[in-house]
Amino acid sequence: MQLTRLFFLGSMVLAGLPGCSYLMGDDGPFRDRQGDYLVSPTIAPMTIPPELDSFTLDELYVVPPPLPEDRPVFVRAPAPRPLDTNIREGVVVQRFGDRRWIVIGAEPAQVWPRLRDYWSTAQIPVASEDPVQLIMETVWVGEEGSRNKYQVRIEPGLHAGNSEVYVLQVGESYVADPSAPVNWPANSANLELEHAMLDEVSVYLADRTDLYRASSVSLLAGSLEAESKASIVRTGDGETLQLRIDFDRAWSQVGQALNNAEIEVASSDRDEAYYAVLFTGVEEEDDDSPGFFRGLFTSEDESGETPAFTVRLVTEEGHISVIAEQTEGSADSAELRDQLIRVLHTNLI
């Protein structure tokens, strides 16, 4: 009986309220709070008494600096680019001479927040970050007098959907004023420290199984058009492979691609920037068979010889053009030349 009376009185009180405005209005207990953050005041950082240790405190949600006024503006998240079947799986540390970098089968927008997680897990504060240019810098790490600072940079990979992660290191002796911004060199001062940090980052990324499921991405990092470093361009003379990397790496990549595709190299000359190869073409898979290429098949031109080509690397402004030319004396085949370029693109690593 008591419960019934209370329910009746509660219903009468609610019925007397002027609609839902009392509950949902500006002064109501359930008002709309979605715009509160726009007028929220800035409070001073937490101060820790000098006798206590504060190394475990870190900003979980770092507010980035204002972006330049001429930045690209997106009303909605950028549309995904076409699927590239050459995305490599896993995390691999690539080596070329003294240079090392991480190749990972994920978009830069997916890799960026995971790298932020790494610094937090390693308890290394981030001194600055640029999510548009995809660059992070750590604070000086280590004991004063022998400290080190690291810069981590994410770049698009050779294929769409891949990313490359680079690490640079400088020692405290490199700068006159450790509190001033660092003018980063092209190469690390200590390659051993650079490689050690790169290995740690690669192990962390390899253990992040959620990386490839894109459970969270950075829209700022994704706002930069992440064009892959290798693309096929159609010209009046056929297809050309464009590589946006330096010549040394391009020469090595083309050589590895020829080897991966099991294309016979008759001769090569690095100074003249060409490979002389014998290429018989590729046979496309049937619709019921997995994969795009089944492999190389034997074919000959009208003279009964295996078609010979010259794969030439031409240095142009901002990129290296890889061109396939039919060797003099062989019957010209635009189809075979285009196939050779596509096979090289597919087998880049």
Read off the pLDDT of residues 60-106 as tens digits, 9 standing for 90 and up: 556 666 666 666 555 555 445 444 455 556 788 999 888 999 999 88
Confidence category of residue 170, pLDDT binned at 50, 70, 90: very high
Query: What is residue 31's predicted lDDT score, i.e. its pLDDT?
Result: 75
Q: How buried is 112 (Cβ within 10 angstroms: 0-12 exposed, 13-18 middle, 19+ buried)?
A: buried
Give mean pLDDT, residues 305-326: 91
CATH 3.40.50.150 describes domain 91-223 = no
Query: What is residue 332's predicted lDDT score, i.e. its pLDDT?
Result: 65
Check residue 39 and report its DSSP letter: G
Query: What is residue 190's predicted lDDT score, i.e. its pLDDT?
Result: 94
Give mean pLDDT, residues 251-267: 93
Q: In DSSP terms, which residues pair with 167 in a beta bridge?
A: 152
96-129 pLDDT tens trace: 888 999 999 888 888 898 899 999 999 999 999 9
28 phi and psi angles, rounded to 5 deg: -80, 160
Confidence category of residue 223, pLDDT binned at 50, 70, 90: very low
- Cα–Cα distance between 347 and 205 in angstroms, integer? 24
Query: What is residue 218's predicted lDDT score, i.e. its pLDDT?
Result: 54
pLDDT value at 288 more than 60: no
Look-up of token digits 């020469």: 251
Q: Range(s) for CATH 3.30.530.50 in the chain?
A: 91-223
- Cα–Cα distance between 270 and 252 in angstroms, integer? 10
Q: Which amino acid is at 294?
A: R
Q: Outline where 230-325 has alpha helix (H).
A: 247-260
Torsion of CA 82, 296, 95, 156, to 10 degrees: -10
Contact 137, 126 (CB under 8 A): yes
Half-sphere exposure of 229 (CA within 13 A, CB side): 20
Query: What is residue 131's predicted lDDT score, i.e. its pLDDT?
Result: 86
- Which range has the worst mean pLDDT, 95-99, 278-282, 335-339? 278-282
pLDDT value at 295 more than 50: no
Please give the mean pLDDT across all residues of the chain: 78
What SS3 state is found at 83? coil
- Cα–Cα distance between 55 and 62 in angstroms, integer? 17
Check residue 122 and report its DSSP letter: T
Q: Outline where the chain has alpha helix (H).
A: 2-16, 21-24, 108-121, 191-207, 219-223, 247-260, 334-346
pTM score, whole prediction = 0.66
Cα-based distances in Å from 310 to 107, 246, 276, 277, 340: 34, 20, 5, 6, 10
Query: What is residue 34's predicted lDDT score, i.e. its pLDDT?
Result: 77
Tell which phi-psi region holds residue 325, choosing left (phi > 0), alpha (psi between -120 and 50) or beta.
beta
- Cα–Cα distance between 150 and 134 in angstroms, integer? 14
Query: What is residue 225's predicted lDDT score, i.e. its pLDDT?
Result: 47
- Cα–Cα distance between 243 and 135 in angstroms, integer? 22
What SS3 state is found at 308? strand
Q: Range(s) for CATH 3.30.310.170 in the chain?
A: 230-346
- Cα–Cα distance between 255 and 313 in angstroms, integer? 11
Kind and range of the H or E element at 263?
A: none
Contact 99, 116 (CB under 8 A): no
Confidence category of residue 18, pLDDT binned at 50, 70, 90: low
- Which range has the worst mean pLDDT, 25-34, 92-101, 119-128, 131-140? 25-34
Which residues have a Cβ under 8 Å from the Cβ of 93 and sit 6 or more positions away?
100, 101, 102, 103, 198, 199, 202
pLDDT value at 154 more than 80: yes
Rg of the chain over Cα atoms, rounded to whole angstroms, equals 29
Query: What is residue 254's predicted lDDT score, i.e. its pLDDT?
Result: 96
Fold of 230-346: TATA-Binding Protein (3.30.310)
Query: What is residue 297's predicted lDDT score, i.e. its pLDDT?
Result: 43
